[in-house]
Amino acid sequence: MKRYYDVVVVGGGPAGSMAARYAAELGVSVLILEKDRDIGYPVRCGEAVSRKGVEEFIEPDEKWIASHITKFSMNAPDGTEVVLPLPEEGFVLERRVFDYELAKSAANAGAEILTRAYVNGLLFDGDAVSGVKFDYRGEQHEVEADVIIAADGVESRVGRWAGIKTHVDFRDMESCVQYTISGIDVDPNTIYFHFGSNAAPQGYLWVFSKGNTSANVGLGVSGLVGKKKSALQFLEEFMERHYPNAAILTSIAGGVPCSVTLERISAPGIILVGDAARQVNPLSGGGIASGMIGGSIGGRIAAESIKKGKPQHLLTYDKEWMDRLGKRHETFDRIKNGIYNFSDEKFNSIAYSFSKVPNDKRSLGNLFKTALIHNPGLLIDVARVFI
């Protein structure tokens, strides 16, 4: 470990690793500081992602693919199930292996990595961030850098220390809990979603196969719901109803910030990427692919600003992110707000109407159309997604 790096990345998840790799590939020196002892563990994630979302960054490899997804199953509160083919293939990942591979690719590009390195403060040069303070193996250290990339996940404290307001409105925070269970009968190629007030009000419940009669069963509910009943209670009740005899191999909690991106994701000497920047798709809650995109843009711009000797170039990151995905997320956020307030009756009647659609005409687009008939106000926002 040196006293100075061009770029220091706080957090070794997908966004942090991609930021580190894209910066290192442009020839600047990079250090990743990971709080936990392992990259990729514990896995606080449902682990589903589209093939398109990952293959831009890493060649799909069976060693981190638990199952291949081709079908989507929507389950209404009254038990009506609608199954439809997905327009493109998806994966349920083994995040533990996947995150490791991403970090390795950053290391191969030249980045250094320290685990159990807990960042607890920033260094400043005037108004600009100029380094980090961190605890490593029980000793306090400091390291200086031209650019700090905050990839510290849902907590997003590093950005706050730089004066950026990063906390999420509790109504937009999906409080999640997930069991990885075994001994159940699910189709390994289908991802199952359950909606409604029994399963997960203002959120959804997922069953994602991990292959071999094993699956991630989890759910997220808004903090507004959590006020009255916790995510854990909802999951325990679902397990009792659906899988009373399943063995629970892992239980894990987590938070997914389902909001639009922060108003500001850069400041002098620092940029925010991934969950820390609130770059999660607010409709699906998916953050792997969008976090890697945010990280790759951030890493490249950080390296460019250093090589050009133009610190102000860093501030172009906000616009580039907004043009690439941020504006799209604003539309998704409006759709989310429409859908999350659907009543059980509405979900039931959408599933019922759609179950009349012949198999060969079933698609996500058609499901959306059915949903629109039930809430025409969504039409304008949905149109924006496709235009």
Q: Which of residues 204 and 354 has its CB atom nearest to another protein in the complex?
A: 204
Please report how close the Cβ of residue 332 comes to another protein at its closest, in angstroms: 19
Structure tokens at 362: 């079933």
Q: Which of residues 22 and 161 has its CB atom nearest to another protein in the complex?
A: 161
Q: Which of residues 173 and 382 has its CB atom nearest to another protein in the complex?
A: 173
Please report how close the Cβ of residue 368 comes to another protein at its closest, in angstroms: 29
Cα–Cα distance between 8 and 365 in angstroms, integer? Answer: 42
How many Cα atoms within 13 Å fall on the side-chain side of residue 319? 4
Residues 6+ apart with CB under 8 A from 284: 332
Please report how close the Cβ of residue 372 comes to another protein at its closest, in angstroms: 31
Please report how close the Cβ of residue 147 comes to another protein at its closest, in angstroms: 22
Single out the residue of 208, 179, 161 nearest to residue 48, CA to CA.
Answer: 208
Please report how close the Cβ of residue 191 comes to another protein at its closest, in angstroms: 21
Single out the residue of 35, 44, 96 nearest to residue 66, CA to CA.
Answer: 96
Please report how close the Cβ of residue 203 comes to another protein at its closest, in angstroms: 11
Q: Which of residues 134 and 342 has its CB atom nearest to another protein in the complex?
A: 134
Strands 173-182 and 139-150: unpaired
The beta strands (E) that lie in the chain are given as: 4-10, 30-33, 48-50, 65-75, 81-93, 112-114, 117-125, 128-136, 139-150, 173-182, 190-194, 204-211, 214-222, 247-257, 266-267, 270-272
Q: Which of residues 69 and 177 has its CB atom nearest to another protein in the complex?
A: 177
Q: Which residue has the tokens 């909690």?
A: 253
DSSP assigned state of 9: E
Please report how close the Cβ of residue 92 comes to another protein at its closest, in angstroms: 20
Strands 112-114 and 30-33: parallel
> How many C-beta neighbours within 10 Å does residue 42 have?
13
Q: Helix (H) and strand (E) counts for the chain?
A: 12, 16
> How many C-beta neighbours within 10 Å does residue 366 have?
13
- Burial (CB < 10 A; 0-12, 13-18, 19+), residue 62, is exposed
Please report how close the Cβ of residue 298 comes to another protein at its closest, in angstroms: 19
| Interacting residues toward another protein by CB under 8 A | 35-37, 44, 116, 118, 153-157, 160, 167-170, 173, 175-177, 223-224, 226-227, 230-233, 252-255, 257
Please report how close the Cβ of residue 342 comes to another protein at its closest, in angstroms: 22
Cα–Cα distance between 133 and 118 in angstroms, integer? Answer: 9
Q: Which of residues 78 and 155 has its CB atom nearest to another protein in the complex?
A: 155
Q: Which of residues 165 and 319 has its CB atom nearest to another protein in the complex?
A: 165
Structure tokens at 350: 């959408």
Cα–Cα distance between 263 and 259 in angstroms, integer? Answer: 11
Structure tokens at 245: 């005899």
Q: Which of residues 111 and 258 has its CB atom nearest to another protein in the complex?
A: 258
The DSSP code sequence of 20-33 is HHHHHTTT--EEEE
Q: Which of residues 58 and 258 has its CB atom nearest to another protein in the complex?
A: 258
